Structure 1
């Protein structure tokens, strides 16, 4: 299920389903959206704070539901990630999302919402940079900004080595829906009603602040849960701030080689998707093709 495209003059809603938002940082992003010809409506509780959360669960959930139901809001852009979306998923009105499907955009902790919403409704959602955590930085680059334009019309995306060097861990070519996101959040879905389904799909992973031994443990959990075996291929995004503090240590490259040395499906790494710049935004749930021969990831449009 594809959401409707945006057009100049449309209103986007910004809400905070996870960690608290700094007002100054969020407001610095407004000019970007206004330059795209978009109007902005903030959630009533976007600046709330309740410990490490952006307000009480009920208020964060209410903001999200109100923006889904509001026909004047054509897209929901989450202000930031952090922590907290997993506390909301079992309370989200999925029937409301089916009734009023629209663009939903964010990443990191938002992975829990992406996974739950797509599996419950079939709606394609977007893994991309967020206003209060990424767009306020002076290094928010041209490519990251340009990729927002995929929301204004059906766009076939091709990620090639013109964006960044790519490393092949296993050769091959595979086509399937692309799913996934933040590795630690994907692991949190296991054993819940929202457990990530990777059957015949391209599994995308990224993370930040996780040392190699931690990545190793999470990959092993996915392996034991059958998620690597089920996948059609693996897309390894950016793993920022992953330098080991425990020595001696394996490198991330050694971790990838361990899990994929006997893999029978394509595995490519080096994609600038995640906590990085440029941040290549991707629609999750669309048909995609990963090829080691051309060293590309090709993605179908995420809107119609």
Structure 2
């Protein structure tokens, strides 16, 4: 029998979430607006350490971002951690993180894009389920009822056996089939960059999900080729393609799909148009949790709980 991964407790109304900024810069006004928009979720956002410090690339220098992230991981006051935004910089602080406290007191950790490497790191080091999906600015910079509903439905109500595909969304099979395995993936560029690192993506027997932004088709193919040459596409259980954006315009599914299909063994199912992206279509996926792809429908089902209770 396959052992269950480490699972965080479910969130409840009134819980406190720590805001962290392990990557790019942002303005205080945008942060305040997004925090206000998030307030009707029933959860409280708090800053374990000041986030905004002058730096040309990042929200703050490496030592400060590391300290803020470590405080959020260690404090038992917080039931979860929500990243403010992606950008670049998360991988620079990973070697300095201690996960001892998180291993004893797992938390819900949410982010995507540059945070892809954090999900890989947590899966490798702790076998922890973390959550790929909208961050504070990408999800709540502008008030959107659907964003709040998606968040609360997933983190306050998600159950074993539930569909991971939100209502009203449509996906398609590029190659029909069924599969079961742990969900792993995220931003394609970051997955390719993980190769050769201690948190290199593990795809054996996994359902691999992919998305990217501001990458033309030839760069997408280059990253896919890098994964293929590293042996990362030869043993996947299935591939789930999100929305690939170039200059805010989606790249045709057939073009991305053709690049993927030619690199996969025959029989590996592929689903396209899954709502994971840097655009408004971005659902939450439990990274490192087991999921099932059914042959009859191009969606994903949770056969096991992704929360401890």
Q: Same-fold call, TM > 0.5? A: yes
Q: Which moved more, 1:162-171 or 1:189-198?
A: 162-171
| Pairwise CA distance, 1:278 | 3.0
Verify: 1:290 aligned to 2:287, yes or no: no
What SS is found at the alignment partner of 2:136? coil
| Pairwise CA distance, 1:153 | 4.4
Distance change (3 Å), C-alpha of 1:184 and 1:258: closer
Counterparts of 1:4 and 1:258 in 2: how far apart (Å)? 39
Counterparts of 2:255 and 2:243 in 1: how far apart (Å)? 16
Q: 1:155 aligned to 159, 167, 187, which one?
A: 159
Counterparts of 1:159 and 1:101 in 2: how far apart (Å)? 22
| Pairwise CA distance, 1:155 | 2.2
Matched with 1:231 is 236
Counterparts of 2:244 and 2:295 in 1: how far apart (Å)? 20
Matched with 1:31 is 36
Provide, for residues 273-299 of structure 1, a one-character-per-residue CA deviation record: whole Å limited to 9, x for no partner.
121223211111111012342121123
Counterparts of 1:159 and 1:284 in 2: how far apart (Å)? 12
Matched with 1:120 is 125
Where does structure 2 lack aligned partners over 5 or more consecutive residues? Answer: 1-5
Q: 1:52 aligned to 57, 72, 77, which one?
A: 57
Conservation of the 8 A alpha-carbon contact between 1:22 and 1:132: no
Conservation of the 8 A alpha-carbon contact between 2:82 and 2:110: yes
Q: 1:273 aligned to 249, 273, 276, which one?
A: 276
Distance change (3 Å), C-alpha of 1:40 and 1:277: same
| Pairwise CA distance, 1:50 | 1.5
| Pairwise CA distance, 1:213 | 0.3
What SS is found at the alignment partner of 2:71? helix
Q: 1:302 aligned to 282, 286, 306, which one?
A: 306
Verify: 1:184 aligned to 2:185, yes or no: no
Matched with 1:254 is 255
Q: 2:17 aligned to 12, 31, 38, which one?
A: 12
| Pairwise CA distance, 1:112 | 0.5
Distance change (3 Å), C-alpha of 1:104 and 1:183: same
Provide, for residues 72-110 of structure 1, a one-character-per-residue CA deviation record: whole Å limited to 9, x for no partner.
111110000000001111111122321221010011000
Q: How many aligned positions are there?
A: 297
| Pairwise CA distance, 1:242 | 6.0
TM-score by length of 1: 0.91
| Pairwise CA distance, 1:168 | 1.6
Where does structure 1 lack aligned partners over 5 or more consecutive residues? Answer: 245-249
Matched with 1:137 is 142
Verify: 1:200 aligned to 2:201, yes or no: no
Counterparts of 2:13 and 2:166 in 1: how far apart (Å)? 32
Counterparts of 1:43 and 1:200 in 2: how far apart (Å)? 38
Distance change (3 Å), C-alpha of 1:212 and 1:252: farther
TM-score by length of 2: 0.89
Conservation of the 8 A alpha-carbon contact between 1:141 and 1:278: no
Give the aligned CA root-mean-square deviation in angstroms: 2.1
Provide, for residues 248-273 of structure 1, a one-character-per-residue CA deviation record: whole Å limited to 9, x for no partner.
xx965234224315532110010111
